[in-house]
Amino acid sequence: MSAFDAITKARSKLVLQQPFFGCMALFLTPEEEEGLETMATDGSKLFYDPVWPTTLSEQELMGALAHEVMHVALEHTIRRGQRDPQHWNEACDYAINAELIEAGFQLPKDGFYRKEFAGLTAESIYSQLADEREQNKDQHNNDQGQGDSPAKDPGGCGAVRDATQAHDKAGMEATRADIQAKVRQAAMLARKAAGGDLGEGVERLIKEITQSRINWRDVLHQFINDRVEQDYSWQRPNRRYLQHGLIIPDLVADGISHVVIAIDTSGSINQRALEAFTSEVSEACENGALSRLTIVHADTCVRKVDVFEGGDTVSIKPKGGGGTAFAKTFEWIEDNATDAAAVIYFTDLEVRSFGEEPHCPALWAVWGDERRFEQLSQATPFGEAIYLAAH
């Protein structure tokens, strides 16, 4: 039996036995690729090695197809950003395989699996694996993500490739909309085919896939922009275009637009999440969206305060390391930043003392174990919360 025939047969079995995954697999166009070693998908095609599918049992091949389907359904083809491709593949595999095994699938032997990663996003796992590599450099000199000839599929179950328009904002949004439409269609057809009962494991997977994935960067920028008044001005040209010899007006704050960033500097601060968060906040200050940015470093009390004016380069060097309590921070804000339009608190939310609600809107920028995010965010007495998926 050829690889194409084996894939066609396994896909037909999926349609009958696991209709959601079967329907999603039908959206992928099979394409043979010499030397691929396993499989791969870019969201529209299913690339396959001419030999590997024939070496698997039917159940393993069905599992491999479901694995590739999950890469597409979870939008792994458009979420990599600037992350290392091999390490991204590894993180995505860990995110997928625990869920598939729990749903009853059989995967090819030696596929990546760690129980503690169940329920985490690929971004969160990527960050944890990066920390592990940093702590164990000597043991990872031959890491699969390094070297001149990295493995095409480090997890051995089927790789994920970037979609054609993964790095173009407009194209990425169109791709995301297309994926979500296919997921909804596959879920609808699957429930109809199964008489409405897909089984608890698969239903949970579909619920996870179809839940809206919020881009915290968009929320953060929108939160800031909604609370500052801006207008175009020729007094300070847009610096992004100056290097190309173009002088065009830039958006600048109209009046005093002051935002306070409070950073929880207790001992468990995550440097990678802080860097990602700082990068986004810095842009708002450097491009003139803010007239003033005040950064408060605090654990149980305020340890340091930095103030930046619009257009300044923002640099954050946390100071603290004690326990966690927010009351003193909000007291300082009420006493010293009465003109603040908003407060954004970077924290893991592992706290019991929130203090009094400030005079302006508050946003909790939360990092830590995302499986606890919903519980922790519901305990906040005021403000809204977003989860930071760290790089």
Sign of CA dihedral 232, 236, 241, 246: positive
List CB contacts of 30: < 8 A, sequence separation 6 or more: 4, 7, 8, 45, 46, 48
**Residue 247: predicted pLDDT:** 54
* pLDDT > 70 in the chain, percent: 82
Decide if pLDDT at 321 tops 80: no
Q: Where are the beta strands (DSSP E) in the chain?
A: 29-32, 39-41, 45-48, 159-160, 230-237, 249-253, 258-264, 292-298, 302-309, 340-347, 362-366, 384-387
Is the pLDDT higher at 141 or at 103? 103
Q: What are 362-379's pLDDT values in tens digits? A: 999 888 877 788 788 888
Highest mean pLDDT among 11-15, 188-192, 246-250: 11-15
- What is the pLDDT confidence band of residue 230, given thresholds at 50, 70 and 90? very low
List CB contacts of 332: < 8 A, sequence separation 6 or more: 296, 298, 302, 305
- Residue whose token pair is 């590997």: 52
- What is the pLDDT confidence band of residue 256, given thresholds at 50, 70 and 90? low
Q: What are 150-165's pLDDT values in tens digits? A: 557 888 899 999 998 7
Q: Which domains does the chain have, with CATH numbers?
A: 3-209 (no CATH), 217-387 (3.40.50)
Look at residues 13, 14, 47 and name the one whose alpha carbon lies nearest to residue 30.
47
Q: What are 259-288's pLDDT values in tens digits? A: 999 999 886 667 777 877 887 777 766 666
Evaluate whether 187 touches 219 at the Cβ level (below 8 Å).
no
Report the phi/psi class of residue 383: left, alpha or beta, with left for phi > 0 and alpha for psi in -120 to 50: left
Average pLDDT for the chain = 82
- What is the pLDDT confidence band of residue 212, given thresholds at 50, 70 and 90? low
Q: State the Cα–Cα distance between residues 389 and 193, nearest whole angstrom.
A: 36
- Residue whose token pair is 């702590």: 135
Q: What are 324-360's pLDDT values in tens digits? A: 889 999 999 999 999 998 999 999 888 878 999 999 9
Is the pLDDT higher at 97 or at 200? 97
**Residue 289: predicted pLDDT:** 67
Is the pLDDT higher at 195 or at 101? 101
pTM above threshold 0.75:
no
Decide if pLDDT at 290 tops 90: no
Residue type, 385: A
Residue 92 backbone phi and psi in degrees, to 5: -65, -40
**Residue 73: predicted pLDDT:** 92
**Residue 160: predicted pLDDT:** 95
Cβ neighbour number for residue 240 with a 10 Å cutoff = 11
